């Protein structure tokens, strides 16, 4: 219970209970009492006084029998009723502004003290919190410093141990190396001694074996010499008889072989000549049939010019790569298929031009690098296998015309044929190496 005393009234007692805030609690909201007007406060106090008179009359009747005591008035021991002292305003008239002012001053003083108490409590709590935080930080710093010192000590101990272990290990390894060196030296010396002894024994045995072999060889040579001499005399007689007999057999065999060779040469020459004429007739047929038909038809000429450009371009793009070879085969096959769909003469003309282009490419590249012949041959074989066998016949005819050695037959010169025409027919270079109408280089030197 809190008591307030002033110069104009009795002490005002305030009972502390569950609803009364403590000095460290938040102050109550008494703004309505602080800012209320004296008249309103007076009216409320009058109404409150009338109620308190009716409610406390019975209690006062019970306490009337007791004697009044000044000490009891100052230090009461009875059960206090907060409304008893709050209702003292009935002793003063309602229009007494001094009492109203005193009550409002006490109330504002109480609120100010509660506010200051709350602020002081907050300050104390903040100081306490900061103090605990500083203590914790100091303890953490001390702990961290101790742990760092302990870590340094442990690291130093570990470093000393590792250094000591390394020193012991190095000493052990050094002693082990020295011991191994001594053992290796002893083993090397023992091996050298053993090797020298083995070499000495081997030399002695080798000398004895050579001496024995030399003696045996001399005896064998002497024995063989006598045997050879007797055998030679016997063989000379036998060889003489065999030579005479063999000479007769050889002469008979030569006669038979000559007769057989003459018969085979006649048949083979006829066969080789027929093979040469077979391919030569293919070229003649192209000259007499295909070229005139193509040259006399404008649409055929247009198709042939387009095919010629494509063929020349694709042959120039040929390399030794498998993918590139396959690509060139497919593209050349498309060109041949287009000409084949137009007319047979156009198709043969395209095969003829492709053969000449491949032969020309081989003349320029194969002489410098023989391995470049394989991509060219793979193109020809690939086109034949995918459905253009006529290309193989035209290509073979062109090769035979270019080099008659392919058929192993040299054509003879006709009586009415000049040297220049005969040279062109053989495929030799003529003069400055001019090209004929078909695109092949002919003549002779």
Which of 138, 167, 192 is the last residue before a domain boundary?
138
Which residues of the chain fall below pLDDT 70? Answer: 1-95, 259-270, 429-445
Considering the domain architecture, whether residues 313 and 363 belong to the same structural domain is answered as yes
With respect to residue 103, please indicate whether it lies within any of the assigned structural domains: yes
DSSP string of 199-234? HHHHHHHHHHHHHHHHHHHHHHHHHHHHHHHHHHHH
With respect to residue 329, please indicate whether it lies within any of the assigned structural domains: yes
Considering the domain architecture, whether residues 124 and 11 belong to the same structural domain is answered as yes
Considering the domain architecture, whether residues 17 and 117 belong to the same structural domain is answered as yes
Q: What share of the chain is helix, strand, coil (3-state, %, to 5)?
A: 80, 0, 20
With respect to residue 227, please indicate whether it lies within any of the assigned structural domains: no
Considering the domain architecture, whether residues 423 and 396 belong to the same structural domain is answered as no
With respect to residue 427, please indicate whether it lies within any of the assigned structural domains: yes
Span 9-63, pLDDT tens digits: 444 444 444 444 444 444 444 444 433 444 344 444 444 444 444 444 444 444 4
Res 334: pLDDT:
92
Considering the domain architecture, whether residues 419 and 313 belong to the same structural domain is answered as no
Considering the domain architecture, whether residues 27 and 100 belong to the same structural domain is answered as yes
Q: How many domains does the chain have?
A: 3
Considering the domain architecture, whether residues 325 and 337 belong to the same structural domain is answered as yes
What residue numbers bound the domain in which 345 lies?
297-409
With respect to residue 186, please indicate whether it lies within any of the assigned structural domains: no
Q: Enumerate residues 6+ apart whose C-beta is below 8 A from 362.
A: 372, 373, 376
Which of 119, 138, 157 is the last residue before a domain boundary?
138
Strands (E), 328-415: none
Span 243-275, pLDDT tens digits: 888 888 888 777 777 766 666 566 666 677 788
Considering the domain architecture, whether residues 345 and 444 belong to the same structural domain is answered as no
Residue with tokens 């000549």: 273
With respect to residue 89, please indicate whether it lies within any of the assigned structural domains: yes
Considering the domain architecture, whether residues 366 and 438 belong to the same structural domain is answered as no
Considering the domain architecture, whether residues 370 and 443 belong to the same structural domain is answered as no
Res 270: pLDDT:
67
Considering the domain architecture, whether residues 7 and 115 belong to the same structural domain is answered as yes
With respect to residue 61, please indicate whether it lies within any of the assigned structural domains: no
Q: CB burial class (10 A; 0-12, 13-18, 19+) of residue 393?
A: middle
Q: What is the DSSP letter of 124?
A: H
Considering the domain architecture, whether residues 432 and 312 belong to the same structural domain is answered as no
In which element (H, E) is residue 13 found?
strand 12-14
With respect to residue 95, please indicate whether it lies within any of the assigned structural domains: yes
Q: What is the CATH number of the domain that holds 310?
A: 1.25.40.510
Tokens representing 426 are 């053989």
């Amino acid at each position: 219970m809190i008591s307030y005393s002033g110069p104009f009234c009795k002490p005002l007692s305030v009972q502390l209970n569950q609803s009364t805030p403590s000095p460290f609690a938040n102050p109550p909201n008494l703004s309505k009492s602080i800012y209320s007007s004296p008249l309103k406060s007076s009216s409320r106090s009058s109404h409150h006084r009338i109620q308190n008179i009716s409610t406390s009359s019975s209690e006062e009747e019970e306490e009337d029998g007791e004697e009044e005591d000044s000490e009891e008035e100052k230090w009461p021991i009875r059960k206090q009723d907060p409304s008893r002292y709050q209702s003292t305003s009935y002793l003063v008239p309602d229009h007494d502004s001094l009492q109203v002012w005193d009550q409002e001053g006490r109330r504002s003083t109480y609120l100010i003290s509660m506010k200051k108490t709350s602020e002081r409590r907050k300050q104390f709590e903040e100081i306490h919190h900061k103090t605990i935080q500083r203590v914790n930080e100091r303890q953490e710093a001390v702990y961290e410093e101790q742990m760092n010192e302990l870590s340094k000590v442990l690291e130093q101990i570990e470093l000393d141990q590792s250094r000591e272990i390394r020193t012991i290990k190095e000493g052990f390894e050094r002693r082990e190396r020295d011991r191994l060196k001594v053992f290796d030296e002893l083993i090397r010396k023992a091996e050298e001694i053993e090797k020298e002894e083995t070499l000495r024994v081997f030399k002695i045995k080798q000398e004895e074996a050579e001496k024995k072999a030399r003696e045996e060889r001399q005896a064998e040579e002497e024995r063989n010499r006598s045997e050879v001499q007797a055998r030679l005399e016997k063989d000379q007689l036998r060889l003489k008889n065999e030579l005479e007999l063999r000479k007769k057999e050889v002469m008979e065999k030569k006669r038979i072989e000559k007769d057989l060779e003459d018969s085979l040469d006649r048949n083979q020459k006829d066969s080789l000549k027929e093979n040469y004429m077979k391919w030569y007739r293919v070229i003649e047929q192209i000259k007499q049939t295909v070229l005139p038909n193509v040259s006399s038809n404008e649409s055929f000429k247009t198709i042939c010019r387009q095919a010629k450009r494509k063929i020349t371009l694709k042959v120039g793009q040929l390399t030794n790569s498998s993918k590139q070879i396959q690509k060139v085969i497919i593209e050349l096959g498309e060109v041949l298929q287009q000409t084949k769909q137009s007319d047979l003469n156009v198709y043969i003309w395209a095969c003829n031009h492709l053969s000449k282009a491949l032969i020309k490419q081989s003349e320029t590249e194969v002489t410098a690098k023989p391995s470049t012949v394989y991509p060219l041959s793979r193109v020809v074989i690939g086109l034949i296998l995918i459905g253009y066998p006529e290309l193989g016949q035209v290509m073979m005819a062109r090769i035979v015309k270019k080099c008659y050695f392919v058929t192993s037959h040299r054509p003879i010169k006709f009586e009415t044929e000049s040297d220049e025409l005969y040279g062109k027919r053989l495929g030799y270079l003529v003069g400055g190496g001019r090209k004929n109408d078909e695109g092949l280089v002919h003549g002779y030197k």
